[in-house]
Structure 1
Amino acid sequence: MSEFMQNSAYAGVTISLLSYSLGTYLKKKFGFGFLNPLLISIIATILFLFACGVDYDTYSEGAKYLSWLLTPATVCLAIPLYEEWELLKNNAKAVMLGILSGVLTSLVTVFVLSKLMGLSHESYVTLLPKSITTAIGMGVSEELGGYVTITVAVIVITGVLGNILGEFICKIFRIHEPISKGLALGTAAHAIGTAKAMEIGEIEGAMSSLSIAVAGILTVILATAFAGLI
């Protein structure tokens, strides 16, 4: 199987798509929050590679084409935002302050926990971009001297947890305003959280889409300042 993976240019892409399709099927069939398609696809892919004795580098060589779609997919999230443009203009101040609060909360939390756990500078900056989309987070981590591979894993984990728990947390704290829910999901859980926001409603999806871009820009700016604290 390892030899087949090496000789096939798109084997990694095929495995990734099949795994995600399995996750989507299970989610639709059972409807449980923890059956997140991305989470299921990750687990299924790992189990397949382990069972077939295929190393990560071989798989990555065939799956790298999927990463090329990250930036275009992120840009496409501007479409629901455009459809709710008037709503954004009418709530511009609250929206911007909400996103800024979310970004600062994320960075401060990483700083405090890193201090408490005695993490090195490299480990600390690796975690700083945890709540922004992978396309931006990888660049931030690399620029600050972090471990890019771990950053990607942390970003995915953050997004999956936000997707699974985001709506439940909003219910606990009685957050019913669509704009607030959208901003929370997008700022805390980037594109994966936005997928959940779009399931909830159009306004939530639009505000979450906006949060991805603005939170990414703010994190790029503020992470540089926070990086010097440890």
Structure 2
Amino acid sequence: MEELLRSPFFGVTLTVLAYVLGMKIQKKSGLVVCNGLVLAALMIIAVLTVFDISYEDYYVGGSMINLFLSPATVCVAVSVYAKLDVLKKNLLPVLVGCTVGAVTSVLSVWGLCRAFGLDTALTASLLPKSVTTPIASAIAEGHGGIVSITVVAVIFTGIVGNLSVPLMIRLFRVKDPVEAGLGIGACSHAMGTAKALELGETEGAMSGIAIGLCGIVTTVLALFFDFLLS
């Protein structure tokens, strides 16, 4: 039994089954709070806790799922290409919006970390929380951050964005699909983009563009992280 739990097969199978079940519950319930990704995470945590399975044993297979994260993000380029004419028409607003979004994210996190007296390592871990995991992890590691905390912050940001997108769009009366897509991608990266694709092809394409542009801008801003952390 222990050999099975420590094999890659266990982690992959548990993750896939939890995700499939979570998505089915989301589809049947139709409730925003019943988000498939959140439910899948909770089910995995429950299984590991109830059967006293260590995270290290699970991650032997679970880490294989992470290998698909970067290719899945790149696949968003398909929807971007389909809306290339929309991008050309709104190029300047897209560039300005993503730049402002990335700068606002970094400065707001930095301000809150200072206000709550967090140390340098935690601050470096949280500063890139609004960009996709591979970029955020590299930035945090390069500035003395704790990568595991960065990953958790990125995932939490994405989940919150995924859950709150419908409410935020109604609350702020966002009618333009370009505006909606850019806002989603700039704030909640890949998980938000999954919700944007549900809203429409234009929203999904613009959210995908925002992931890339905000990642580039945040990488450039990382050159000034040492100043912010001093």
Paired residue for 2:5? Answer: 5
How many residue pairs were aligned? 229
Q: Secondary structure at the match of 1:130?
A: coil
Q: Give the gaps of 5 or more residues in structure 1.
A: none
Match of 2:209 in 1: 210
Q: Which residue of 2 aligns with 1:162?
A: 161
Verify the 8 A CA contact 2:131 2:211 in the aligned structure 1.
Answer: yes
Quote the offset at 1:4 in angstroms: 2.5
CA distance in structure 1 between the partners assigned to 2:194 and 2:187 by the alignment: 13
Structure 2 CA distance for partners of 1:3 and 1:53, relative to 1, 3 Å:
farther
Per-residue CA distance 1:176-202 (angstroms, 9 max, x = gap): 110000000000000000001000011
Moved segments of 4+, more than 2 Å: 1-4
Gap runs ≥5 in structure 2: none
Q: Does 1:99 align with 2:92?
A: no
Aligned-partner residue type, residue 32 of structure 2: G
Q: Which residue of 2 aligns with 1:77?
A: 76
Normalised TM-score (structure 1): 0.96
CA contact (8 A) 2:15 2:40 kept: yes
Deviations 1:35-81 (A, max 9, x none): 11111111100110011111111111121111111111111110000
* Conservation of the 8 A alpha-carbon contact between 1:20 and 1:37: yes
Partner Cα distance (1:40, 1:223) in 2: 33
For residues 174 and 105 of structure 1, the distance between their equivalents in structure 2, rounded to whole angstroms, comes to 21
The secondary structure found in structure 1 opposite 2:228 is: coil
Percent of aligned positions that are identical:
38
Matching residue of 1:48: 47
What TM-score, normalized to structure 2? 0.96
RMSD: 1.1
Amino acid at match of 1:129: P
Please tell me whether the aligned partners of residues 143 and 225 of structure 2 are also in contact (alpha carbons under 8 angstroms): no
**Aligned equivalents of 2:214, 2:226: Cα separation in 1:** 17
